[in-house]
Amino acid sequence: MRKVLLKGLTLVFAVSLSACGLLPEKADETRGWSASKLYSEAKDELSSGNYEKAIQYFEKLESRYPFGTYAQQAQMEVAYAYYRQADQAQALAAVERFIKLHPNHPNVDYMYYLRGLINFNDQLGFLSFLTRQDPSERDSKGTRDAFDAFKQLVERFPDSIYAKDATARMKYLVNAMAQYEVHVANYYYRRGAYLAAANRAQRAVTEYREAPVIEEALWIMVRSYDAMGMPKLRDDAGRVLKANFPNSSYPPGQQAKSDPWWKFW
């Protein structure tokens, strides 16, 4: 009886498999499309915000027509589509792939710029406008990566149409990195770690001399050295503060009042 049952189950299983094989495969709507047709349709999907569909079309374009300008353009468009889709990892991977494959492409400067934008938007934070969180309160790695990407663009392609915007973003990012150091210094000071606070503020002063937040960094140094009973270092920092900011808004017991630095737009 058991053998009969097993044979019956085997037969049913075999029939079900054969039935699955008889089902028609889903037709590929792009079959027979030319390179120009694929590219046009992909661009339409991209413009409509259908990024996943656009990526599929661009990847098919590159696979079917791997040589020529359409394939290279598709590689760039894929990177941009992933960027608009907020898929940072895939976007960066696509950018790096293009730069590696086409280092002398006439539009490779755009890919350097896009790499900067990907990191720039990541460091701003997707929900910062809801939480009103100061970007300096997060890890600064994304900020540094964005700065390095824009710096490479400006140094390698000084005449690029993207160089001016990249330079403006670099200035903003310098302020962001300086503010991050000052934020950490303030964190240490509030917890009584005065040496760590002074060292972090000193780092901001040394590395970001032109940043507006240097005034606050010097004031943190004054307070930290004073709390540690180090009058010489306190007075030295105080003299530097007074020399560079004669109308400083950081006299004893007061704080500067200004709009948050990160409100760039």
Positive/negative CA dihedral, 185, 190, 194, 196: negative
pLDDT digits (tens, 9 = 90+) for 185-209: 999 999 999 999 999 999 999 998 8
Task: Identify the pLDDT of residue 176.
Answer: 86
Task: Identify the pLDDT of residue 261.
Answer: 40
pLDDT digits (tens, 9 = 90+) for 34-63: 999 999 999 999 999 999 999 999 999 999
Multiple choice CATH, 34-99, 3.30.360.10, 3.40.50.1360, 1.10.260.40, 1.25.40.10: 1.25.40.10
pLDDT digits (tens, 9 = 90+) for 89-106: 999 999 999 999 999 999
Whole-structure pTM value: 0.71
Task: Identify the pLDDT of residue 1.
Answer: 52
Task: Identify the pLDDT of residue 7.
Answer: 54
Residues of the chain short of pLDDT 70, as ranges, are 1-27, 122-140, 251-265
Query: For the chain, which residues make up each domain, given as ranges?
Result: 34-99
Task: Identify the pLDDT of residue 140.
Answer: 65
